[in-house]
Amino acid sequence: MPTLDFHPTGRHFLQIPGPSPVPDRILRAMSLPTIDHRGPEFGALGLKVLSGMRAIFRTKHPVVIYPSSGTGAWEAALSNALSPGDLVVMYETGHFASLWQKMAAKLGVQTEFLAYAGSDEHLPNAPSWRRGVQADMIEQRLRRDTDHRIKAVCVVHNETSTGVTSDIPAVRAAIDAAKHPALLMVDTISGLACADYRHDEWGIDVSVSGSQKGLMLPPGIGFNALSPKALAASKSAKLPRSFWGWDEMVEINKDGYFPYTPNTNLLYGLDEALAMLQAEGLDNVFARHQRWAEGVRAAVAAWALPIQCADPAVHSPVLTGVITPPGVDADAVRRLIYERFDLSLGTGLGKVKGRMFRIGHLGDSNDLTLVAAIAGCEMGLKLAGVKLADSGTQAAMTYFASHPAPALLRKVA
């Protein structure tokens, strides 16, 4: 009987930009028996993963772990730090930035949504969805806010709907240049453990993340990393919160425990993921994703299809958005590739639905899985009648062959 992972032979190619393919090591770790979340073994596990996550966020301050998806961690960030009617500045990089803005509005926060105002030949209805955050726009807006009504600036680090990784230190510098006290909140749900990220050094007040991307875990854990300034703001912030409250969580986390039932088996997986990332070293992890991204972009360049991110300075190491030619429904191409080659690609979300597809290059992958994924895309595009300038598969092979992975990843046994 077919099951959810029924594939006649071989493994399904999960090439969406999260949930990412989960390494077998992590799946095995998660299969251990569930333990008493108030017992001594659990306290040790809790302390270990909380400390490990501080290293991943590069912070000395508290990290909060929720049994939630990333959306819950977004709500936690807003509801702990803000009060009803507070003004926040957000920036439209894509679908996820838009969803966060809608959430803030639903929670009773007043939002101003900045966006790139230029035009775009390929995506005329979404020019802002091809570029990163323009920090100078944020600086100008903050300079005009002389009575400091703006309480927070919220941006997405790696916009998963577009494949753009914004320059977060530039946003920090903009806030500092305007001498503005607003909190800086950053969604690094798909950036963390793929692209460089430094919560303390970059002066971030609340970082928001999730388990199912660079951490290579199934969905189900949401994170907030907090600065002392964010914790201080939460003392007087008035938005209602209970489940998401930082105060009780941070207090009980000191002994490795949680105020309610944590997702124990996902935490076993997190412990294993942290061991893998620590063994590789974060800088090697970032270099690995960069190299994969360059190989995939070499393929898209050979096809002569536009990459959604129009600014090479902010190309994402996590995923690549590919714009299909006018008249070619990207979702029809995706469906064909799924049915013919057992390969899942990310769909175009919101304003870019049907205009692009996304190739994830994160999680349990390697050069050959990526070359195979590119080959699947190439066969599908051709079957859909798309004229490709050259072979992307050959371009990716040439890239990976001429740019060997670091010795650490090539070591056998």
The helix (H) or strand (E) run that includes residue 15 is strand 13-15
- Total count of residues recorded for the chain: 413
Per-residue binding string, ligand PLP, 31-60, x by CB under 6 A, is: ------------------------------
- Nearest-angstrom CA–CA distance, 151 and 83: 9
Binder of ligand PLP out of 128, 190, 253, 290 (CB under 6 A): 190
Residue closer to ligand PLP by CB (options 79, 190) is 190
Helix axes 168-177, 135-144, angle to 10 degrees: 20
Binder of ligand PLP out of 25, 47, 71, 329 (CB under 6 A): 71
Residue 94, sorted as left (phi over 0), alpha (psi -120 to 50) or beta, turns out to be left
Per-residue binding string, ligand PLP, 108-127, x by CB under 6 A, is: --------------------
Binding of residue 70 to ligand PLP (CB under 6 A): yes
Strand partners, 111: 88
| Subset of residues 141 to 160 that bind ligand PLP, contact rule: CB under 6 A | 156, 160
Burial class (CB in 10 A: 0-12, 13-18, 19+), 5: exposed
Please choose, out of 63-71, 76-84, 177-185, 273-281, the segment that lies near ligand PLP by the rule CB under 6 A.
63-71
Residue closer to ligand PLP by CB (options 186, 231) is 186
DSSP secondary structure of 207-248: EEEESSSTT-PPS--EEEEE-HHHHHHHHH--S--STT-HHH
Binding of residue 132 to ligand PLP (CB under 6 A): no
Strand blocks (E) in 44-203: 63-66, 87-91, 110-114, 150-156, 158-159, 164-165, 183-187
* Structural tokens at position 70: 């990333």
- Nearest-angstrom CA–CA distance, 207 and 17: 19
Residue 11: CB minimum distance to ligand PLP, A: 22
Residue closer to ligand PLP by CB (options 92, 187) is 187
Residue 235: CB minimum distance to ligand PLP, A: 27
Binder of ligand PLP out of 13, 15, 18, 273 (CB under 6 A): 18
Burial class (CB in 10 A: 0-12, 13-18, 19+), 327: exposed
Residue closer to ligand PLP by CB (options 14, 381) is 14
| Subset of residues 213 to 252 that bind ligand PLP, contact rule: CB under 6 A | 219
Binding of residue 344 to ligand PLP (CB under 6 A): no
Residue 339: CB minimum distance to ligand PLP, A: 24
Judge if the upstream peptide bond of residue 19 is cis by omega within 30 degrees of 0.
Answer: yes
Residue closer to ligand PLP by CB (options 23, 360) is 360
Residue 71: CB minimum distance to ligand PLP, A: 3
Amino acid letter, 308: Q
Per-residue binding string, ligand PLP, 74-113, x by CB under 6 A, is: ----------------------x-----------------
- Nearest-angstrom CA–CA distance, 190 and 132: 15
Residue 219: CB minimum distance to ligand PLP, A: 6
Binder of ligand PLP out of 210, 295, 306, 380 (CB under 6 A): 210
Residue 390: CB minimum distance to ligand PLP, A: 31
* Structural tokens at position 125: 């209805």
- Nearest-angstrom CA–CA distance, 166 and 363: 21
Nearest residue to the partner ligand PLP, using Cβ = 70
Please choose, out of 35-43, 182-190, 323-331, 357-365, the segment that lies near ligand PLP by the rule CB under 6 A.
182-190
In terms of DSSP bridges, do strands 356-360 and 319-323 run parallel, antiparallel, or are they unpaired?
Answer: antiparallel
Distances (CA, A) of 363 to 16, 17, 190, 252, 325: 10, 9, 11, 31, 29
Residue 179: CB minimum distance to ligand PLP, A: 29
User: Rule CB under 6 A: which residues touch ligand PLP?
Assistant: 18, 69-71, 96, 156, 160, 187, 189-190, 210, 219
